[in-house]
Amino acid sequence: MIPVMDSLAGVLILYNEPQPESDFPAKIGIESDAGVMEEVRAVGLALDKLGMPWRSAGVMNLRDLPNVITNGVEPLIFNLVEALGTDSLSMNNVPAVCEAMGRGCTGESASCFEITQNKWLCKQMLRSHDIPVPKAIVIPPGGKIDPSKISFHMAIIKPLQTDASEGIDSSSVITTNNIEEIANKVTKIHEIFHQPALIEQFIEGREINASMLREGDNVKIMPLAEIDFSAFPPDKPKIVDYTAKWIKDSFEYKNTPRKIPADLPKATADLIKDYAMTAWQAIGARDYIRVDFRLDKDLNPYILEINANPDISPDAGFAAALKAGRVSYERFVRILLENAWSRMETKRKFMRRSRKRIRQTETVDGIRWTRMEDRDSIHRIISETNFFRPEDETIAHEVLDDAITKGETGHYQSYTYLQNGKAIGWICFGPTPCTIGTYDLYWIVVAPSAQKQGIGSAMLSFAEQIMSEKSGRLVVVETSGGTKYESTRRFYEKRGYKETSRVPNFYAPGDDKIIYTKQLVS
C-alpha cells in the first residue's frame, strides 16, 4: 500500500505530447498519437476519485524528461508515453530515466519494452520458451527478398518496430506467390518508417486478446476477449489494422466489436492462458500487458505480439477486459501505483545496503567495494596464483584500474574480500553489453594462503546476490579447458554452473575455451 503522507505528494501523469502533423510519415500515426490524451483524462479522473493529487505533463523527446520530472516533487510517475516523435525506440527508455531519478514508474520496464517493441526479438524470446508464433522473415532497408525462405501461403507485411497497428492495412495481407506485391509493400515500409519490414505468416482464423495485470505477487488474466469479424465480407482480410483501431467513422472500426468472454472450448482457453502466463515470464513483464493470439482452423493458438502498456483509454480493449474481470478503473490505477511504489522502496533498500557495503572500512572483515588502497594487494594476489600469463595479468590490472576509477557507476563491479583488514580476494563482474539481464563474471581470485576457506564461494554468492538485485537472470563464465584449470572448473560446477559451450583450441592448440552459465533467481 502507498503510505498516506507520501501519496499526498501526488502523482505525475507523463504522456507524449502530440507531434505536429508535418512530423508524421505520410500522415500515419496522427490518431494514435493524439489518442493518449483520452488515457490522461481517464487516469486523472481515477486519481480524483482516489483522492490523490496529480499533475500531467507532456514530453516530445527524451531530453525533456529530466526537467519535466524535477519541476515537481511527485514520488510516483504514471507512464503513458507511447512514442516520442517519429523515433519508435526512445520511448523504451522512459521508465529507466524515471527510476534513475528516484521515482517510482508504472508499467513495464525498459528491458521489457526493448523486447516487445521489436517483433522479431519478441518472437525469438517466445519461441525459446516453446510458445508457438507465426513464421516470419525480416527484410532490412535495402535488403532483397529470397522467396525460398518464405515457407507459408499467406503473409502479412508490417513494420518491425511500431505498435498501434501503424503501417498495417487491408493491403498488408498478400499471397506469397505474389512476390512483386510483397516487395512493393516492403519498400513502402522502408521508405515511410525507415526500419526493417516483417514478412509474417498470416494465420487465418479467430483473434483472441489476453489482458494481464499483476497485483502484489499475483498475475491475473482477465476474461479472454475475441474480435468479432462476422460483418466483414469474405474477401476482406480479418485483421485489426490501423483503421479498425483509430478511424472511428470507418467500416473497420464500427465492425470489430469485442466479445467478452470469448466463446472457446475450455481446453483452448486454458492453453491460451498457459501461453500468456509463460509469455509474461519470458519478457519479464511486471505490471500490465495484452497478449494477442490468432487461432488456426484447428484452434491451435499462436501469439502474434505482446503489447506492453497497452492502450488503457476507457473504450479500449484493456479497459473492457478489466470491467469483465470486475476490476474497476480506479482500482486498476491504484494497483499500478502500488506496484510502482513497491519497486521504488525495494530499490531504495538495495541502495542503502550498497552504500553500507561501500562505507565499510578496511579494518572490517568481509566483502566491500574495491578501493585504491587495495590495488597493490590485488596485483600481488593475481601474480601469486600462478594461473595467469603476463598478458592476462595486464588485462586484469586494466580492468581493476577502470573499476576503481569509475566506481559503482562504471561497467566493472569490483569487490574486495578482507581478512584481518587485509585484501585476500577479488571478484569483478558486469552486465553483458547488448543483452537483457545477462552478466559476465570477469575475475575471481583468492590469495594462495587463504584458499580452501570458502572465500571464493562467499565472493561468488555475494556477486550473484548483487546481480539478482539488479534484475540479473544469467551469469556467464569463461575458463580454460587445460589440466591446470581442472580445479577451477570443479569450483564452478559444484556451485551450479553448467558447461554450455566449448570452443576447441581457443587459447592455444589443445587448450579449449569452456563457457559455463548459471540461471539466477531475481
In the chain, CATH 3.40.50 sits at 4-106
**What is the per-residue pLDDT for 165?**
83
Residue type, 77: I
Cβ pair 38, 52 in contact under 8 A: no
Q: What is the mean pLDDT of the chain?
A: 89
Answer yes or no: is pLDDT of 363 > 50: no
Direct distance between the N- and C-terminal alpha carbons of the chain, in angstroms, rounded to an integer: 22
Quote the cell numbers at residue 146: 529470397
In the chain, CATH 3.40.630.30 sits at 360-519
For the domain bounded by 114-332, which CATH number is listed? Answer: 3.30.470.20
Chain-centroid distance, C-alpha 478 = 26
Span 474-496, mean pLDDT? 92
Answer yes or no: is pLDDT of 366 > 90: no
3-class DSSP state for residue 208?
strand
Answer yes or no: is pLDDT of 24 > 60: no
Residue type, 223: P
Give per-residue pLDDT as tens, 423-457.
Answer: 999 999 999 987 878 999 999 999 999 998 889 99
Cβ pair 250, 244 in contact under 8 A: yes
Residue type, 428: C
Give per-residue pLDDT as tens, 278-327.
Answer: 999 999 999 999 999 999 999 999 999 999 999 999 999 999 999 999 99
Quote the cell numbers at residue 460: 561468488
**What is the per-residue pLDDT for 119?**
92
The Cα–Cα gap between 160 and 55 comes to 34
The answer to pTM > 0.85 is no
For helices 266-283 and 119-127, give the axis angle rounded to 10 degrees.
Answer: 110
Give per-residue pLDDT as tens, 117-162.
Answer: 999 999 999 998 999 999 999 999 999 999 999 999 999 999 998 8
Output phi, psi for 46, to 5 deg.
-65, -40
The Cα–Cα gap between 288 and 340 comes to 12
Span 374-386, mean pLDDT? 93
Answer yes or no: is pLDDT of 37 > 80: yes
**What is the per-residue pLDDT for 1?**
55
CA 23, 24, 30, 34 dihedral sign is negative
Of 491, 486, 481, the closest CA to residue 455 belongs to 491
In the chain, CATH 3.30.470.20 sits at 114-332
Cβ pair 321, 211 in contact under 8 A: yes
**What is the per-residue pLDDT for 305?**
94
Q: Which CATH class is domain 360-519?
A: alpha beta
Residue with the three cell numbers 466489436: 257
Q: Which residues pair with 259 in a beta bridge?
A: 226
Cβ pair 286, 339 in contact under 8 A: yes
Span 205-211, mean pLDDT? 97
Answer yes or no: is pLDDT of 332 > 80: yes
The Cα–Cα gap between 97 and 91 comes to 10
**What is the per-residue pLDDT for 245?**
86
Cβ pair 183, 146 in contact under 8 A: no
Quote the cell numbers at residue 398: 586494466
**Pairing verdict, β 366-369 and 413-419:** antiparallel
Give the Cβ contact number of residue 495 at 10 Å.
14
Peptide bond into 390 cis (omega under 30): no
The Cα–Cα gap between 163 and 83 comes to 9
For the domain bounded by 4-106, which CATH number is listed? Answer: 3.40.50
The Cα–Cα gap between 180 and 48 comes to 55
**What is the per-residue pLDDT for 130?**
93
**What proportion of the chain, given as a percentage, has pLDDT over 70?**
91
**What is the per-residue pLDDT for 521?**
66
Answer yes or no: is pLDDT of 18 > 70: yes
Give per-residue pLDDT as tens, 249-263.
Answer: 999 999 999 999 999
The Cα–Cα gap between 508 and 374 comes to 32
The Cα–Cα gap between 174 and 155 comes to 5
Of 119, 42, 39, 139, the closest CA to residue 80 belongs to 39
For 452, counting Cβ atoms within 10 Å of its Cβ (0-12 exposed, 13-18 middle, 19+ buried), the class is exposed
**What is the per-residue pLDDT for 437?**
83
The Cα–Cα gap between 24 and 32 comes to 11
Helix (H) or strand (E) holding 357: helix 329-359
The Cα–Cα gap between 357 and 322 comes to 44
Give per-residue pLDDT as tens, 76-122.
Answer: 999 999 888 666 567 888 998 888 888 999 999 988 998 999 999 99
Answer yes or no: is pLDDT of 354 > 60: no
Span 231-260, mean pLDDT? 92
